[in-house]
Amino acid sequence: MSTESLFSAHWHRVRDVRARMADDVLISRHVYRKRVSWVLHRQATGISHRLDTQSFELIDRLDGTISIGEIWEQALEQRDHDAPTQDAWMHLLADLHAADLLVIDSRIPVEALFERRRKKRTREQHQRYLNPLYLRFALVDPDNWLNRVRSLADALFSRTVFVLWAVLIAISGLVLFANTERLFDDVAIAAQFNPYVAALFLVVYPPLKLLHELGHALAIKRCGGEVREMGIALLVVFPLPYVDASASSVFKSRNDRMLVSAAGILVELGFAAIGVLLWFSSKGLVSDIGLVLLLTGGLSTLLINGNPLLKFDGYYLFADWLEIPNLQARSRRAVGKLLRRCLSGESDNTPGPEDVAERRWLLSYGLLSGIYRTGLMLSIAWMLSERWLVLGILLALFALFQALMLPVWRGIKALFFDTQLRGARAKSLALGVPLLILAVLCFLPLPHASVTRGVVWLPEQAVIRAASLCQVNEVMIEPGAQVKAGDVLFRCVDDELDAQMQYLLARVAELEAELSGLVRSDQVGYSKRLPELTSTQAMLDDVQQRMDAEQHRAAVDGRFDVNGTSILLGRAFSQGEVAGYTIAPTGRTIRLAFGERRFADVDNHIERIEVRIQREGLNAKAFTTSMLSRAPRASLEVPSAALSSFGGGPHAADPAGDGRQLLNAVVDIELNWPVAVGSAPIGEHVGVRFVHLPKPLAGRLINTVKRAFMDRQPV
């Protein structure tokens, strides 16, 4: 028995009204979640409304001769405790009247009906332009043409064709499984989206989408429906055909409704399977077309069109499978009811057709789909901003408007006009909770950290660098041998130094002879030429030091190793280039790199630095360390390819380089090696965590957004 009051203070306003169903309302019996429902569909407006059995029994009595009050009194006598309250009965009538399914006054002129229809179409036109990701423009009515190809629809959606489709999908799946490595390589090349791939995409996708939409239209015809609208839709500013498949909503059979929803997906997956066979069995242009068919018909269908969280085919298929019509709108209402109940502290006793499981589905879908759609729109805005910054910003603002500003505005209106939210509790929670969240975001310091990967490296004294541009002409100790500090490892000769040495020796001898003759005869001339001798002698000493440095020695005890190839004799090095290493059993550092703009956040207010190192036979453990040095400016080169994507590192490598060249500038950082760790292999990856001083989340979000937009600008 309902706990609501049986009577209503407004009952006198509708008690004597004599209403009836509109003449063009079609009634069909549906079964949703093992419960019988009745769908009322008005042909003049295209509006459908679902009723449970008890509500329909009341509505079915409306014939224009019996009053609303008399129908309620009859229900009270027949149902007793199960009879609806006066408020519930009026609420049901108000919904049907708002949907233009009831005729309250038979004297309403025909012009009023056309005016309502015009307003409805105006609202529909406005709805078409509310989502900038999917704009629709109606062009033609294809129903007459589709009637002429009805036999084709029956043939395509037959069991025989479905079995052939399933066999094709199975074969293509086996081909993909057996050629996974080739597929990944080809997809990686196609992902670069060069002009050739873009042209293939433009050639393949529109016809494939047209066949997709024809699949929906033919499925509707096969099930006995009508298709009254076909046009062009702009999907993220890309023009594609579409058909209006809303006629399937009144099909009695759930299987028919699901077939219409799945028809486009089945068509695209079938062509994706054909694309797999073309890609595998051919080469050149045909193979490339097959790959594009696979990507557009397979991945795009499964990730976008088949995703139930987006209002495309997957959504309608999911709703029909759950047997929950109008899933998205009802889920929004369910979330709104939950919020009102939380704010007011009062349960909502408005009657509804949902059971407990259905309410759970509605709440879950409402929350997940809202979060997902907002995130997807922001992601698309982010991708568009890389090439069209203004368009990306506008789309992001629209997403934030829909996800935050519009619900907030509706909530503020509800606080003033919703009778359920007029209490002090609702207003206190509605104002207090957002203010509390805002205070937490802006003023509560929260711990945070920056995480990256580094590599085990050697201290600078263990690195052997070429003193000048030179070529190795003699190797004293072969790479791989154990050496001690001071051992001569190899000799790297600069031929120009020999010529400079001979010239400077001759010039010094010449100046000394000349000055020895002037010392007694011409003191003034002697004083003028003496500085030249001094400078020449200094140059000679410098060349001598550089020639002495041609003999490269080990600075520490350890194993001698070279950079790159193991062959050292005959190799040429530029000045400062790493020629080799002296790898000691102990003594390591950690090298890592941060993006140039991100490093500003990392460098400020560091509380501690932790490294996570995997010890042999033990689980990874965190050790505290400190910063040893950092480069004074950013560079496009890292000391090891292990820091770039070439060697599994976090930074994108330049495809034209040797793995150490990057696409974006980074700041090189060197950390001390934790003493407690001991030794570790050179080049091994370690996790590095910069723990910052606590900071409010709002400031961090602002910095993240600023850095993101700065990354969209050229360095």
Q: pLDDT tens digits, residue range 220-251?
A: 999 888 888 888 877 666 777 888 887 887 78
What SS3 class is residue 468? Answer: coil
Confidence of residue 2 (pLDDT cuts 50, 70, 90): very low
CB 381 within 8 A of CB 396: yes
pLDDT of residue 263: 92
112 has pLDDT over 50: no
d(CA 205, CA 292) in angstroms, rounded, equals 8
- Identify the pLDDT of residue 266: 92
State the pTM of this model. 0.61
Q: How far apart are CA 325 and CA 226, in angstroms?
A: 19
pLDDT tier at 111, thresholds 50, 70, 90 = very low
* Sign, CA torsion 12/13/19/22: negative
Least confident piece of the model among 91-105, 270-284, 565-579, 687-701: 91-105
Side chain identity, residue 316: Y
Could you give the 3-state DSSP secondary structure of residue 73? helix
Q: Name the helix (H) or strand (E) containing 128.
A: helix 110-128
Sheet holding 48-52, edge to edge: 25-32, 35-42, 48-52
Q: How far apart are CA 286 and CA 362, in angstroms?
A: 46
CB 115 within 8 A of CB 35: no
Structure tokens at 494: 């600069």
Instruction: Classify the phi-psi angles of 224: left when phi > 0, otherwise alpha if psi is within -120 to 50, otherwise beta.
Output: left
Query: What H or E segment, with its residue span, contains residue 525?
Result: helix 523-548
pLDDT at 472: 86
Q: Is 659 helix (H, G, I), strand (E, B) or coil?
A: coil
Neighbours of 673 (CB within 10 A): 25
Tokens 């609420």 correspond to what residue?
91
Average pLDDT, the chain: 79
Paired strand residues for 654: none
Q: What pLDDT is stored for residue 5 in this prediction?
A: 65
Q: Which domains does the chain have, with CATH numbers?
A: 11-120 (3.90.930.60), 130-322 (no CATH), 327-443 (no CATH), 451-459+587-711 (no CATH), 461-562 (no CATH)
Residues 6+ apart with CB under 8 A from 505: 540
CA 162 to chain centre: 34
Of the candidates 414, 431, 212, which has an alpha carbon nearest to the alpha carbon of residue 313? Answer: 212
Residue 383 Cα distances to 16, 37, 236, 376, angstroms:
60, 45, 11, 11
Longest CA pairwise span in the chain (Å)? 145
pLDDT confidence of residue 121: 55
Range of lowest pLDDT (93-102, 346-355, 524-533): 346-355
In angstroms, the CA 674 to CA 663 distance is 31
**Residue ranges in 418-494 assigned as alpha helix (H):** 424-443
When pLDDT is cut at 50, 70 and 90, the band that residue 709 belongs to is low
Residue bearing the bigger pLDDT, 702 or 275:
275
Among 49-58, 551-560, 564-573, the range with the most confident prediction by mean pLDDT is: 551-560
pLDDT score recorded for residue 166: 94
Cα 50 to Cα 35: distance, rounded to the nearest angstrom: 12
DSSP string computed for 284-315? THHHHHHHHHHIIIIIHIIIIIT-TTSTTHHH
Mean of pLDDT values over 614-636: 79
Least confident range of 305-309, 353-357, 416-420, 532-536? 416-420
Strand partners, 41: 26, 48
Nearest to 269 by CA among 241, 299, 313, 227: 299
The confidence score (pLDDT) of residue 217 equals 92
Cα–Cα distance between 671 and 313 in angstroms, integer? 53
Residue 439 or residue 351, greater confidence: 439
Structure tokens at 101: 């399914």
Max mean pLDDT among 38-47, 376-385, 618-627 falls in: 618-627
Position with higher pLDDT, 330 vs 119: 330
* Average pLDDT estimate for 531-552: 82
Task: Tell me if residue 637 falls in helix, strand or coil.
Answer: strand
Higher local confidence (pLDDT), 137 or 290: 290
Sequence-distant (6+) residues with CB within 8 A of 280 are 175, 179, 290
CA distances from 96 to 10, 91, 104, 108 (A): 18, 9, 11, 17
Measured distance CA(597)–CA(602) in Å, rounded:
10
| Coil, helix or strand at residue 714 | coil
Distance CA 447, CA 691 (A): 8
Find the angle CA(193)-CA(195)-CA(198) to the nearest 5 degrees: 60
Distance of CA 569 to the CA centre of its chain: 51
* Highest mean pLDDT pick, 330-344, 484-498, 564-578: 484-498
What was the pLDDT predicted at 215?
A: 92
In sequence order, the 6+-apart residues with CB closer than 8 A to the CB of 311 are 328
Q: Check: CB of residue 40 under 8 Å from CB of residue 48.
A: yes
* 8 A C-beta contact, residue 168 and residue 273: yes
Residue 632 and residue 217: Cα distance in Å, rounded? 65
> Buried (b) or exposed (e) across 13-35, using 16+ Cβ within 10 A?
ebbeebbbbbeebeeeebebeee
Average pLDDT over residues 342-368: 74
* Mean pLDDT, residues 73-87: 78
Q: 336 pLDDT exceeds 90?
A: no
The C-alpha atoms of residue 424 and residue 571 are separated, in whole angstroms, by 83
Contacts of 362 (CB under 8 A, 6+ apart): 324, 327, 330, 331, 334, 335, 354
Among 43-52, 115-124, 497-506, the range of highest mean pLDDT: 497-506
Q: With 50 as the cut, is the pLDDT of residue 106 above it?
A: no
Looking at residues 684-713, what average pLDDT do you find?
77
> Rounded to 10 degrees, what is the CA torsion of 338, 339, 343, 346?
-20
Dihedral over alpha carbons 84, 86, 91, 93 (to 10 degrees)? 90
Place of tokens 């002697």: 526
494: left (phi over 0), alpha (psi -120 to 50) or beta: beta
d(CA 177, CA 188): 17
Question: What percentage of residues in the chain have a pLDDT greater than 90?
Answer: 7
